[in-house]
Structure 1
Amino acid sequence: MPPADAIACAGVDAAYGPVQVLYGVDVRVADGEMVGLCGPNGVGKTTLVRVLSGLQRPGAGRVLLAGRDITAVPAARRVRLGLSTVVGQQAFGSLTVTENLRMYGYTVSRRDGRLRRAVDGAFAVFPRLYERRDQPASTLSGGERQMLVLAKTLIQRPRVLLVDEFSLGLAPVVVGGLLEMVRRLNRLGTALLVVEQSVNVALSLVDRAYFMEKGTIVAEHTAAHLAQQPDLVQSLMLGGHA
């Protein structure tokens, strides 16, 4: 029997006012799986993340989390149900690193020091953040801010993590270290949907990948297959799937 879906959407349409962006999108991520969502800028990848995370209601279709229909569930409630999102390097710039991590832990009980232990655990994984624990997040480098937003998942321990363009603007050596942290989260049991414009980054991480073009899913392949088909990858990324 195949593993159950950690998160899935079926027939999802979405629009910004009169401009439709998504057309009947179907995506699924099984428990424990890492899946990529690739394509050039402007094809609807981030809009799909917004729909999955609850920041935007779809015009049609359903979103399921562990088999439960969450299409109408607010974003904050989805976090409590086990869905977390990392978008770029977003953090609360005026708050210190420690204050950011405590903010991320709003789903963690304050009883018996659980939140403190969760924050200490995140610092153990990211010692550089511990060194900067009293600095405002606005003073961190891009790589350090990305560590900070990834650290929240160590506190929240989500069943599903949506990662949107986390390598954007970062040096390759920094990206390499962050990829290993994402793999570690996966080994801890978190399923991931990784949204990436850099197909090389995505395919170095995921088990399989979807490709989007003009708001629709145009292809789905395993990472192993794509590694042997560079011409196919180039065609998909340039919008030449036909």
Structure 2
Amino acid sequence: MSPDSQPALACSGISSSYGPVQVLFDVDLRVGEGEIVGVCGPNGVGKTTLLRVLSGVQRSSGGVVHLNGNDITTTSATRRVKLGLTTVVGQAAFGSLSVHENLRAHGHALGRERGELNDSIDAVFNIFPRLDERRDQAAATLSGGERQMLVLAKTLIQRPRVVLIDELSLGLAPVVVGGLLELIRRMASLGTSFVVVEQSVNVALSLVDRMYFMEKGAFIAEHTPAELRAQPGLVEKLMLGGGH
């Protein structure tokens, strides 16, 4: 992202606490249009909390969040979705409903008109032919990779400008992860921006344009994949909290 361009999503000075326990400390992040940014670090350092603050599910105790140049720091999570900021967490779906019913229910919840919703669902099935083959199958009977596809498909119906993803690869086979990464790259090429929290550094390196490393609620480093590949041992050092 050019230093002079307006980021699709940015936060600065973000702090957040759970009761008396402060979890985030003065976090700054930016992601440009069509850019994929990763956030890595050990468990329990505040990565998911950061996504919760960005999505509006959790309020910050300090700092500001901007979406496409607009201050959304005090904007509700529901309103942020309508403004184009959405979150993918796990493989959540209505298990008793079919794939098609899940997509339709999600679209209706967003207030989409019938014709517009039908067009959106058709477009999603073109992108996810595997889901099209299983459109009448109950979501509970899908594989883990297929459920993750369904979550991404529901995200597409929202027509997001920025997508936050928490642990995309968790519990999925490598071949499935590879297919999901390609779908994310395709969405990014069309202008959608991503912030991806990922425990697997190798997965993140194969996907992101830039990567932030977090320790104890603060970012300790920011690198491109090329920079990390050129410095053997740096990733391990950063993941172990040795980036200072």
TM category (shorter chain) comes to: over 0.9
Moved more, 29-38 or 49-58: 29-38
Report the equivalent of 2:61: 59
Q: Distance in 1 between matches of 2:30 and 2:175?
A: 30
> 2: distance between equivalents of 1:179 and 1:151?
14
Q: Secondary structure at the match of 2:233?
A: helix
* Count of aligned pairs between the two proteins: 241
Rounded Cα–Cα distance in structure 1 between residues aligned with 2:57 and 2:140: 24
Structure 1 residue aligned with 2:110: 107
Matched with 1:178 is 180
Instruction: Report the Cα offset of residue 168 of structure 1.
Output: 0.5
Counterpart contact for 1:83–1:159, Cα < 8 Å: yes
Instruction: State the Cα RMSD in Å.
Output: 1.4
Distance 1:108 1:82 in 2: 14
Q: CA deviation at 1:108?
A: 5.9
**Aligned residue type for 2:110:** T
Partner SS, residue 220 of structure 1: strand
- Give the Cα separation in 1 of the matches to 2:22 and 2:79: 26
Q: Which amino acid aligns with 2:166?
A: D
> Cα deviation per residue 1:112-152 (whole Å; 9 max; x = unaligned)?
x1100101111111122122222222221110110001112
Secondary structure of 2:73's aligned partner:
coil
Cα shift at 1:20: 1.2
- 1:241 match: 243
- 5 Å-filtered alignment, 1:42-53, equals 42-53=44-55
TM-score computed with the length of structure 1 as normaliser? 0.95
**1:1-242 correspondence to structure 2 within 5 Å:** 2-105=4-107, 106-107=109-110, 109-110=112-113, 113-242=115-244
**Structure 2: distance between partners of 1:214 and 1:103:** 39
User: How far apart in 2 are the matches of 1:137 and 1:19?
Assistant: 38
Q: Distance in 2 between matches of 1:186 and 1:221?
A: 19
Q: TM-score, normalised by structure 2?
A: 0.94
Gaps of 5+ in 1: none
Aligned structure 1 segments of 4 or more residues deviating by more than 4 angstroms: none
The question of whether the paired residues in 2 share the 8 Å contact of 1:12 and 1:22 is answered with: yes
Task: Say which SS state the counterpart of residue 5 (structure 1) adopts.
Answer: coil
Contact kept, 8 Å, 1:208 with 1:223, in 2: the verdict is yes
- Percent identical pairs in the alignment equals 67
Counterpart amino acid of residue 195 in structure 1: V
Distance 2:60 2:128 in 1: 36
